[in-house]
Amino acid sequence: MDGILPLWKERGMTSHDCVFKLRKILQTKKVGHGGTLDPDVDGVLPICIGKGTKVIEYLQDSGKIYEGEITLGFSTTTEDRSGEIVETKAVDHPLSEAEIDRVMATFIGKIKQVPPMYSAVKVNGKRLYEYARAGETVERPEREAEIESFQRTTDPIYNEEAKTQSWRFQVTCGKGTYVRTLAVDLGTKLNYPAHMSDLTRLASGGFSVGQAVTLAQVSELMEKGQINQALQPVEEAMKEFPRIDLTAADWQKVKNGQVLPMKSFGIKKMPANLIAFFYQGQLVSLYGQHPEKNWLLKPSKVIRNEIAQDPHA
């Protein structure tokens, strides 16, 4: 079994929990996920199966879309609602929509973020959440993130009793963006402690809500022998990459991992992404620029050495 399964991860489970359960349901060990989702977050989690595991890194690097809620008035250890409160400041007067929208707009483009202490980023060979759980602090490396859009989607709600203000938002962002930190940094610019009070991932790796299936649905499809209804071909993960369809002669060279001249394919300048080589409609290899000879293409990742009649087979 090869392909990508767009899973709807429910709340309360880690991404690894999903992989563990799917190995049993799908009766295969070669299963991995294409981008971690926190236990408190639900949404689209691309699951790579068989040859699909060869494209995990490219799914993880892809853009994502989230919807969620930001709350001003207090911040937490985890930057979301699951953590302990670390700072409070009463929102005595609700902020205007215009002020919120103006500050949200300042996050569009390339921004710098400091990863949360409760995250999987490694510092000195140890994950940040391990330091956090041990009650230790460590200097966290600043990272760059790219925000394509960041918009308020509901009217702000002011809680007179709690002295907080909340609103829902949608964000389209690049790889490595911490949406929790986005909420906290927005609060800082608005002069209030803040946290991300709700989050759902709507799209990841080019897969969206409409394609996603729950673990229960996967189980049912397997029992009925209809899992291919939910399984997406490996090729779907590469749809944003430049594509070249090979001739039979080229396929023999690619199959054997040969270095190839760019001019053979009419390429004058190497694109930003790797080039996806297809043969008979199936993804067979990913090629990149040779590290020493910039007019040559070198295999970066071999996906298939043989062509199956059924790409799902």
Supply the residues annotated as catalytic. 38
The alpha-helical segments, DSSP class H, found in the chain are: 15-26, 56-60, 97-105, 128-133, 179-189, 215-224, 248-255
AA letter at 33:
H
Q: Are 74 and 26 in contact (CB under 8 A)?
A: no
Distance CA(231)–CA(234), nearest Å, equals 9
Q: What is the dihedral of CA 271, 237, 32, 114, to 10 degrees?
A: 50
Q: Where are the beta strands (DSSP E) in the chain?
A: 3-9, 31-33, 42-49, 64-72, 74-76, 85-88, 109-113, 122-123, 126-127, 143-152, 157-159, 164-173, 194-204, 207-208, 243-245, 260-261, 275-279, 282-289, 296-302
Element (H, E) at 5: strand 3-9
- Label residue 10 exposed, middle or buried (CB < 10 Å: 0-12, 13-18, 19+): middle
Count Cα atoms within 13 angstroms, Cβ side, for 183: 31
Please compute, for residue 284, the number of CA atoms within 13 A of its CA located in the half-sphere on the CB side. Answer: 23
CA-closest candidate to residue 192, choices 166, 154, 172:
166
Q: For tokens 């390429």, what's the residue?
A: 267
